[in-house]
Structure 1
Amino acid sequence: MANSHSDISARYDGRGRFVPPHAKPLSGREGFFKRTWTFLRNPIEGFGPMVYNQPIVSVPNFGKKLHVISDPEGMMAVLAKEANKFTKTAIDARILGPATKEGLLSVHGEQWKRQRKSVAPLFRKRHMEDLAPLITEVLHSFCKKVNAEPELDLNAAMAELTFDVLARALLGDPKGLDKDRLKFATRNVVTSAGTLRPDDLIPWPRWVPRPITPKGSAALRRLKRAADGLLAERTKHPVEDDLISLLIAAKDPKTGEGLSAREQGDNIIGFFIAGHETTALTLTWALFLVGSHAETARRIRDEVLSVCGEGDVLFDHIEKLTFTQAVIDETMRLYPPAPMLNRECHEETEIHGRKIEAGDTFLLCNYVMHRTERLWDNPLTFDPDRFLRNPSLKSKGSAFMPFGAGPRICVGAAFATMEAVMALATLVRDYEIELPGDCYPRPLMTVTLRPEGGIPARLIKRT
């Protein structure tokens, strides 16, 4: 049963608008140990009124300063305008290092540029149009399973769906890929590596290893074996234009040097993690929101029937599914897949009028930014129409940054959005989503933002 942490009346505001589960801010009166313990247990619950009400909050941090930013101007300064002065922090490197130390998620500078260029062609519009029918094939198979077994956990089911999309559309659907074991391994790696511990608050040097649990270590070994196997298979039997082939063929334009075996393998593991876990969570939260709000379900179904009829949702349909897209946007506002980013400053600068010194660190809290009254009307309510009333909410530099911003913005953001819209449109048109009456799951952050305890549901085929 999903974890319920609110009575029914708390799910609606005074005007009858649905208020989904959210992390209640600290009161500001807690002591140091209470604040620290809360942050370690669930980082999005570890912020008080100052972070929600001020664009930047600075606190001492082992001789330097930690700056918490929840404002688009500050976010853009760190992630875009002055991105060359910042890198990911040591703790970020220590958390992701065991899995993706030499991959796109972790590297910087010229190494990052070389890798980014190698995978970017896969996500160009022309190529994504070719990938859309593959998503449709996976949706067909998924719906057959749902028809046979309508009772499921949304989180687990969406992880299955999106991993199958990853394998089919991005990895070329290689033979012998043990998808079920890799899904569990990916989740275990994220859970083990992404759960904060007290020693994570100490600014260890980047080279200090961060051990993970035996279960996480075993899962990581499984991912590494899978990545090595995929590379070996594709080297023997090359194909064009899937992710593995692009990594193998990537060459530095200046030196002609290709990616090392470690770089290739770590990038595949990075796509195991980022290529399905984040989209799975977006769909999980979206289906929870739709299943909790009958009017939204009706409007999506009406829109999809109007645009697509009873047939497949095609690439050309996506831009016409404006309300369905707005529901995905509102889902990512309320539950950004990566709710917090870390950065370390390496060159003195100034942000929001404050002097920033080399060695200062940043928490960039898009989860808080997406829910602050300074920037949003009724930020805690579920209101997809806000993006239709005001399209500028999605403009560059706005307070909506579910994928980050600047040069390191998620390379697969457009593909993930396409996949999410196609899946949500298909599932809501074709199925009734039934949730338990007490389903109101607490958002819990590891690296990603998950519903604590999962979300049990029944997907009943419409007739």
Structure 2
Amino acid sequence: MSTQTEPLDNPADGKTGLFYPPHAQPLRGDEGFIHATWKFLRNPVEGFGPLAYNQPIVSVPNFGKKLHVITDPEGMMQVLQHEATKFTKTAIDARILGPATKEGLLSVHGEQWKRQRKAVAPMFRKRHMEDLAPIISTTLDAFCEGLDAEPDVELNAAMAELTFDVLAKALLGDPQGIDGERLKYATRNMVTSAGTLRPDDLIPFPAWVPRPISPKGSRALKKLKKAADVLIAQRKKSPVENDLVSLLIAARDPKTGEGLSAREQRDNLIGFFIAGHETTALTLTWALYLIGMHRPTAERIRAEVMAICPEGNVSYDQMAELKFTQAVIDETMRLYPPAPMLNRLCHEDTVVSGREIKAGDTFLLCNYVMHRTERLWDNPLAFDPDRFIRDPKLKAKGAPYMPFGAGPRICVGAAFATMEALMSLARLVRDYDVKIPEECYPKPLMTVTLRPQGGVPARMVRR
């Protein structure tokens, strides 16, 4: 299989017109254990070799048990959906995210998770999405005014600014008394601190063993908890219709009528702080990078948006018409899934992808690798949004495209994230030329999420 990962002499293929964007350098397969482990710790998406890219399952010894790397949709669906009750998140997930979201959806299991999911899921139904779309529009208006004044940006930082403001206004009711800049900074510090792997993370400590946090990460976590407590107290005193905090407080299990505890409310809110703007910001960052490096894509998006919305912002009802723009977002998340890897612990003997699995074995479910394998995709390293138009089945359940995971624990806010990304990308590409230096070729670097190493400098030129 092709393993092109460094900049080509001409990353845009002159014959096909396709662009070949950055790809984390995989292992060759002949590295020793120490070198391979060092590569994985430095950047987990670089820690996979030819076997992972060419076989549906790879198994290696792991402290008396086995670690199974799944890079195939059938195995992914079995673990995440068909036999989901046999698997839980691993202890390392609890140790990484537990300090921030111990009692929230991101971390809990079993009946506690079911109860919370039932209570929270209605918050992201269509009727709430329609209500939130105009607020995204007004946020985009203010963001574009800022771009006109300061067109030179670092895309990751700029998109984090945009998506946090959307979160504050559309989901949190534009809270007063909260320092938005400090909160943004704290959220990103928390993700970076918690998501950077360390050698001790490879040791299978029990979930109850605490994972030390850096002083910077500890300060960030305290700020997040304080902000969440303030917001919840405000909403209990003065509810705001249809904002996330008020909905969290009012959330009830539809069968039992049971609500969330104060700790569950806070930890879920912190989870939405982390996931609600970081993942969408990265999708927009990578999408604008790809568009800036491939002008034909920019022109096609602009023409499509102009045909249905020549001015102002795309409405909720118009989004379905933006088929190519949506395909660009889909292709972006194929190449750069916001959460490029999931962990699971097996609690019951079973068989996955034809391999016997024992209780106590662990799994790495690597959609980043799955999205780039030649046995599943045509020309997988190329940026080719039309693949999703040529074959809509690529997004069907069980297909090799799983940017949000799959099964009952799939991202509860996926619909909101997709709406926000589509509306934002349509407006920005219609109204601005995205100018990126030709030499900019940032390697994807995984913390909890998948960021462009070194950032992406850009100039947003109003058309």
Partner SS state of residue 408, structure 2 = helix
Partner SS state of residue 407, structure 1 = coil
C-alpha contact 1:132 1:315 (8 A) present in aligned 2: yes
1:14 deviates by 6.6
State which drifts further: 298-307 or 247-256. 247-256
1:310 deviates by 1.8
1:113 deviates by 1.4
C-alpha contact 2:27 2:47 (8 A) present in aligned 1: yes
1:16 deviates by 4.7
Partner SS state of residue 408, structure 1 = coil
Q: Cα RMSD over matched residues?
A: 1.3
Q: Distance in 2 between matches of 1:384 and 1:254?
A: 42
Aligned twin of 1:394: 395
Identity, % of aligned pairs? 75
Partner SS state of residue 22, structure 1 = coil
Aligned twin of 1:153: 154
Q: Deviations over 1:289-330 (max 9, x none)?
A: 000000000000000000112232111110000000000000
Tell whether 2:216 aligns with 1:215: yes
C-alpha contact 2:119 2:259 (8 A) present in aligned 1: no
Q: Distance in 1 between matches of 2:80 and 2:256?
A: 29
Q: Tell me, which stretches of 5 or more residues in structure 2 are unaligned?
A: none
- Summarize the alignment of residues 59-458 of structure 1 with structure 2, pairs less than 5 Å apart: 59-252=60-253, 256-458=257-459
Q: Distance in 2 between matches of 1:196 and 1:14?
A: 41
Q: Deviations over 1:384-435 (max 9, x none)?
A: 0000000000001000000000000001111101110100000000001111
1:117 deviates by 1.8
C-alpha contact 1:147 1:461 (8 A) present in aligned 2: yes
C-alpha contact 2:160 2:281 (8 A) present in aligned 1: yes
1:172 deviates by 1.4
Q: Distance in 1 between matches of 2:218 and 2:8?
A: 39
C-alpha contact 1:122 1:242 (8 A) present in aligned 2: no
The amino acid that maps onto 1:155 is N
Q: Distance in 2 between matches of 1:313 and 1:14?
A: 34
Q: Distance in 1 between matches of 2:114 and 2:321?
A: 34
C-alpha contact 1:13 1:19 (8 A) present in aligned 2: no
Q: Structure 1 residues 24 and 233, CA, compared in 2 at 3 Å: closer, same or farther?
A: same
The amino acid that maps onto 1:69 is I
- With the length of structure 2 as denominator, give the TM-score of the two structures: 0.97
Q: Deviations over 1:143-167 (max 9, x none)?
A: 0000000001000000010011111
Q: Distance in 2 between matches of 1:5 and 1:217?
A: 36
The amino acid that maps onto 1:443 is P
Point out 4+ residue stretches in structure 1 off by more than 2 angstroms: 4-17, 250-258
Q: Tell me, which stretches of 5 or more residues in structure 1 are unaligned?
A: none
The amino acid that maps onto 1:22 is H
Q: Deviations over 1:83-132 (max 9, x none)?
A: 00000000011000011011110001111112112221221112211110
Q: Structure 1 residues 178 and 5, CA, compared in 2 at 3 Å: closer, same or farther?
A: farther
C-alpha contact 2:11 2:21 (8 A) present in aligned 1: no
Q: Distance in 1 between matches of 2:191 and 2:61?
A: 29
1:10 deviates by 4.8
C-alpha contact 1:251 1:258 (8 A) present in aligned 2: yes
- With the length of structure 1 as denominator, give the TM-score of the two structures: 0.97
C-alpha contact 2:118 2:253 (8 A) present in aligned 1: no
Count of aligned positions = 459
1:258 deviates by 2.6
Q: Distance in 2 between matches of 1:339 and 1:8?
A: 28
State which drifts further: 220-229 or 106-115. 106-115
Q: Distance in 2 between matches of 1:454 and 1:176?
A: 31
Partner SS state of residue 9, structure 1 = coil
The amino acid that maps onto 2:25 is K
